[in-house]
Amino acid sequence: MMMDGFSSWHWLGFLVYAAIIIVPFWQIFPRAGWHPAVSLLMVVPLLNILILWALAFKRWPGDA
């Protein structure tokens, strides 16, 4: 079955990729004091890099 040029295997592959990316960040973001839903943005190209930079240089709740 074709959906705008992408087969169902492409969509399945994207969902697997998204799950592999989203699940770990869903656990990391609350520890950093952010809402877990921010992890959904990690599948957006370029935005994911900006979020990682912000996460790397922010003050975490456990910091003194």
* Secondary-structure percent of the chain, ordered helix, strand, coil, rounded to 5: 65, 5, 25
pLDDT tens for each residue of 32-63: 999 999 999 999 999 999 999 999 999 988 87
E strand spans, 1-64: 2-3, 6-7
- What predicted TM-score, i.e. pTM, was given to this entire model? 0.76
Give the tens place of pLDDT for each residue, 11-37: 899 899 999 999 999 999 999 999 999
Residue spans of the domains in the chain: they are 2-57
